Amino acid sequence: MYSCTYSFKLLMKIIETTNISKRYIMGSEIIDALKSVTISVDKGEYVAFMGPSGSGKSTLMNIIGCLDSPTGGRYVLNNNDVSSMSENELAEVRNKEIGFVFQTFNLLPRQSALENVALPLIYAGYTKSQRTEKAMQTLKNVGLENRAHHKPNELSGGQRQRVAIARALVNDPSILLADEPTGNLDTRTSYEIMELFDQLYSKGNTIVMVTHEEDIAKYAHRIVRLRDGLVESDKINATPTNPREMAKMFAEKTKE
């Protein structure tokens, strides 16, 4: 009698773009913001999209996040072909599949942390008590349960970004899509947010981060570089930066 144990890591494609292009026409000028981009991201990956200003990062991020449609090519998001969906259909897929994190946090100033996090659940049809419970649990997961009733202006920058990350995650999206998530934060707080991303990655979340900062991209486990609307390189980062070590080094340096 033999007993075998197989361990599989099932690779499931969450993002699959095939030759997507985006053309803007401004009067007589034609701008090919994306020329032909073919990339795929598997469930559970942590990828950074890097590139100089004007390389097409935001255009690609808007398409991946279903905020905009490509001019040509095919985009399949979690088995939905979203390439030619209407605005309403896109909005529905976006609410279900994507959690956005922005450089500027984009929290509602008059609402508490808890209310901000609970907001996406209103559209998902939960009752008030279910929303509160789910939002509280998500705040706990980002280490902020003791700040639930604070308003954004009563929180530090790092705490605000944690609230925004909790809001992005509360619906269990397929992808966490972060656009320059540390752009408005100081060095020490950036480590804090990168550490949270590390934890989310360890728990199996799929993270796509857009950044123009080399140092920030190096926290990701794969780096895709864009240039002039094309993928210039796409490489596994075998030695991602460890945010805890960075924070420790920073603390020692500032003690001196």
Q: What is the binding site for Mg ion (CB under 5 A)?
A: 57-58
Residue 56 as a binder of ligand ADP (CB under 6 A): the answer is yes
Question: Could you tell me which stretch among 23-31, 39-47, 166-174, 198-206 binds ligand ADP (CB under 6 A)?
Answer: 23-31
Report the residue number, 54 or 143, with the smaller CB distance to ligand ADP: 54
Residue 57 as a binder of ligand ADP (CB under 6 A): the answer is yes
Q: How many CB atoms lie within 10 A of CB 239?
A: 8
What amino acid occupies position 84?
S
Q: How far is CA 117 from the centre of its chain?
A: 16
CA distance linking residue 71 with residue 54, whole number of Å: 18
Residue 24 as a binder of ligand ADP (CB under 6 A): the answer is yes
Residue among 15, 33, 93, 165 that touches ligand ADP (CB under 6 A)? 33
Report the residue number, 44 or 56, with the smaller CB distance to ligand ADP: 56
In 51-117, which ranges are E strands?
Answer: 72-77, 80-81, 98-102
Q: Which does 171 bind (CB under 5 to 8 A by kind): Mg ion, ligand ADP, none?
A: none
Residues 36-55 that bind ligand ADP (CB under 6 A): 51, 53-55
Q: How many CA atoms lie within 13 A of 10 on its CB side?
A: 2
Report the residue number, 113 or 210, with the smaller CB distance to Mg ion: 210
Report the residue number, 144 or 226, with the smaller CB distance to Mg ion: 226
Q: Which does 24 bind (CB under 5 to 8 A by kind): Mg ion, ligand ADP, none?
A: ligand ADP
| Farthest-apart Cα atoms in the chain, separation | 75
CA distance linking residue 164 with residue 156, whole number of Å: 12
Residue 153 as a binder of ligand ADP (CB under 6 A): the answer is no
CB of 206 to ligand ADP, least distance (A): 21
CA distance linking residue 190 with residue 211, whole number of Å: 13
Residue 183 as a binder of ligand ADP (CB under 6 A): the answer is no
CB of 60 to ligand ADP, least distance (A): 7
CA distance linking residue 148 with residue 208, whole number of Å: 27
CB of 35 to ligand ADP, least distance (A): 11
The per-residue b/e assignment along 143-152, b for 16 or more CB within 10 angstroms, e otherwise, is ebeebbebbb
Find out whether 214 and 53 touch, Cβ atoms under 8 Å.
no
- For residue 49, what are the CA distances in angstroms to 8, 101, 129, 252? 28, 15, 38, 31
Report the residue number, 36 or 80, with the smaller CB distance to ligand ADP: 36
Report the residue number, 57 or 134, with the smaller CB distance to Mg ion: 57
Which residues lie near ligand ADP (CB under 6 A)?
24, 26, 31, 33, 51, 53-59
